Amino acid sequence: MQNFVFHNPTKILFGKGKIAEIGEETVQYGKKVLLVYGCGSVKKSGLLDKVKDSLTEAGAIISEHGGVQSNPLLSHTHSGIAIAKKDKCNVVCAVGGGSVLDEAKAICAGSLVDHDVWKFFTGKKSIKATLPLTTVLTLAASGSEMNSGMVITNDSTTQKFGFGNKHLFPKTSILDPSCTCSVPADYTAYGAVDAISHVLEFYFTREDSCTPVQDRLMEGLVINAMESCDRVLKRADDYQARADLMWTATLALNGLTAAGLGKVGFPMHMIEHSLSAFYNIAHGAGLSAIIPGWMKFRAASQPQRFAQFAERVFDIRNGSMQQKAANGIEALESWFCRVKSPTTLTDLEISAEEIPKIADNAVALAKVWRMREYNQQIIESVLINCL
């Protein structure tokens, strides 16, 4: 195990009835609140009104920035920053899934600088301070509610970039599983895929070869993500299953799983970001199309880790190391199929002719993320495995 520092400053309020506390949690950081939310579901469900009531009762002065879309856009982020600056907001409250939370984080960072917030994403500027952020989560998926990362799509350049900074941790996040009961089956599955992918990125790219504690933690999270997702898809209003899936997704990317692993990479996300940048597909759907192909590519030269995954997650015990690795990948792909998440580029109606364009776009992010081993040729090879 490598040396590490684990510090997560986000306060979590988990469970039924906790949304009423968002007002007091928010106004302790400022009274002028920018309320950030998505494209309609939080209004229809009545959740947005509950949040507004709590903020108002706590003495907040609310400015609104709605309409955040899946794969949030830089242009819309610019609009939110303009509102925050004009109204002199001193705290941001985000209500929604990972896309809403990510855009809110970008607004928090961009509201305190004069330059374009995109410069943070390209590494040309570093974040020194942000507006404080509180969140009410509505989708189990990204882990943005308890981590320091954010992802934005530049709609002018068709680039979807992400990065992390210690100033981006939310101050408080409220996780009420009942808020996710109205999430449809497809996005429930995509969220579970996203959570699993966060674990797999670390599990298969970690630098240290001796990480038994983290291995068991990550394997357990993958198993629980699949099992709880299956329970939710069987009965959408199963509160306990929703709670298990929600907490699993949060733990999958809050810094704990990566502790002690040494250098890790995010190759599957790096490649998928090009898919959702070009085709605006759901992030989890893009990931499930990339994950099996990337796993096959990596397992061809490094099967041992994949064989362990197959043994511990799917109880695959027979065959050679290479056979177990292949069978484990097939088992995960079968689960993706069972929850009706795409498993190939073909499922997403993306043809082989598109691969060079996708790979070229991904190379730009690989450079920003310092994943220099992923050049055009390597990324194209991975994508060919995904057809």
pLDDT tens, residue order, the chain (387 aa): 999 999 999 999 999 999 999 999 999 999 999 999 998 889 999 999 999 999 999 999 999 999 999 999 999 999 999 999 999 999 999 999 999 999 999 999 999 999 999 999 999 999 999 999 999 999 999 999 999 999 999 999 999 999 999 999 999 999 999 999 999 999 999 999 999 999 999 999 999 989 999 999 999 999 999 999 999 999 999 999 999 999 999 999 999 999 999 999 999 999 999 999 999 999 999 999 999 999 999 999 999 999 999 999 999 999 999 999 999 999 999 999 999 999 999 999 999 999 999 999 999 999 999 999 999 999 999 999 999
DSSP 194: H
Q: According to CATH, where is 1.20.1090.10 located in the chain? A: 185-385
Q: What are phi and psi of 24, to 5 degrees?
A: -65, -35
Sign of CA dihedral 280, 286, 289, 293: positive
Contact in structure between 283 and 272 (CB atoms under 8 Å): yes
Q: What is the pLDDT of residues 187-245, one digit of tens each?
A: 999 999 999 999 999 999 999 989 999 999 999 999 999 999 999 999 999 999 999 99
Residue 86 burial by Cβ neighbours in a 10 Å radius (0-12, 13-18, 19+):
exposed
Instruction: Return the beta strands (E) in the chain as ranges.
Output: 11-14, 32-37, 61-65, 91-96, 133-137, 149-154, 159-164, 172-175
CA distances to 184, 211, 288 from 138, in Å: 12, 33, 21
* Vertex 52 angle, CA 46 and 55, to 5°: 145
Query: How far from chain centre, in Å, is Cα 250?
Result: 9
Distance, in Å, from the CA atom of 272 to the CA atom of 29, rounded to the nearest integer, reads 36
Q: What are phi and psi of 12, to 5 degrees?
A: -110, 130
Type of residue found at 161: F
For residues 307, 308, 312, 317, the Cα torsion angle rounded to the nearest 10 degrees is 50
Sign of CA dihedral 182, 187, 189, 193: negative
Distance, in Å, from the CA atom of 215 to the CA atom of 206, rounded to the nearest integer, reads 10
Contacts of 248 (CB under 8 A, 6+ apart): 140, 195, 221, 224, 225, 228
Q: According to CATH, where is 3.40.50.1970 located in the chain? A: 11-179
Radius of gyration of the chain (CA): 20
- Give the bridge partners for 118, in sequence order: none
Domain with residues 11-179, CATH architecture: 3-Layer(aba) Sandwich (3.40)
Structure-block tokens of residue 34: 């920018």
pTM of the predicted model as reported, rounded to 2 decimal places: 0.96
Query: How far from chain centre, in Å, is Cα 69?
Result: 14
DSSP 198: H
Domain 185-385 has CATH 1.20.1090.10: yes
Q: What is the pLDDT of residues 266-277, one digit of tens each?
A: 999 999 999 999
Tokens 């709609």 appear where? 155
Distance, in Å, from the CA atom of 305 to the CA atom of 58, rounded to the nearest integer, reads 51
